[in-house]
Copies of this chain bind each other. A is one copy, B any other.
Amino acid sequence: MAATILVVEDEPAIQELIAYNLKQAGHNLLKADNAEQAMHIVQTALPDLVLLDWMLPGISGVEFARRLRADRRTKQIPIIMLTARSEEQDKLTGLETGADDYVTKPFSPRELNARVKAVLRRRAPQVTDDVVRLGGLDLDPASHRVSGNGQPIELGPTEFRLLHFLMTHPERVHSRAQLLDQVWGDHVFVEERTVDVHIRRLRKALEPSTLDNLVQTVRGTGYRMSATL
């Protein structure tokens, strides 16, 4: 539960307030009061979470977030943005840019802690190279092998990455766009329906093990990996 958190905030008072509370909650704190400094810290320390003030001198919070998202090493670091007003516009821009949540000033320490906790919990399943086991499925990223109920399963590269992602983020609905981002990679221009086809191929490959119903459709939303049966 203890995490390294970077706070990017130019007002010393607010930064102190945040830092105090998060230290109380058992986190390690890093501080920056502008985007350049923050960028440097991110590159070297790779924090688990960034608390980002939306209004910054020099490079804005929006731009900073965009740069984080552009780099493969930092793209999955969650961002909580701090915004002065509860303006709908900011929220939209923020969420589009890739912020995971937002907190409007003024905020209570309790609220801040709750959000931080939620975001960290949400990102909990870290992508590792460990063997993933779930619901009778075994997937080994190192050897690139998959087996269902002991029987080996043959998968193409894309289906493998797809299954890997789904298994490491189970019990959670992923939109086709999210799957394209996470499995195909950013900035690829591929029809969303393509996801359907690969889901189909994945299911077909899981059929012999009668594990194909682990991959479930949530109509109007996306796909989900069930953890049981």
Q: What is the interface of chain A, defined by CB distance below 8 A to chain B?
A: 2, 46, 72-73, 85-89, 101, 106, 115, 118, 122, 128-130, 140, 142-145, 156-157, 171-173, 218-221, 224
Cα A2 to Cα B34 with chains together (Å)? 28
Task: Pick 24 A–B contacts, CB within 8 A, sort by A.
Answer: A2-B106, A46-B85, A46-B87, A72-B88, A73-B87, A73-B88, A73-B89, A101-B128, A118-B128, A118-B130, A122-B129, A122-B142, A140-B171, A143-B171, A143-B173, A143-B224, A144-B173, A144-B218, A144-B221, A144-B224, A145-B171, A157-B219, A157-B220, A157-B221
Taking the full assembly, how many copies of this chain does it contain? 2
CB distance from A166 to the nearest CB of B (A): 12
Separation of A142 and B46 alpha carbons in the complex (Å)? 26
Residues in B neighbouring A106, C-beta threshold 8 A: 2
Q: Does the CB pair B85–A142 fall under 8 Å? A: no
Complex interface: chain B residues within 8 A of A140 (CB): 171
Which B residues lie within 8 Å of A224 (CB)?
143-144
Chain B residues within an 8 Å CB radius of A72 = 88
A171, B157: Cβ atoms closer than 8 Å: no
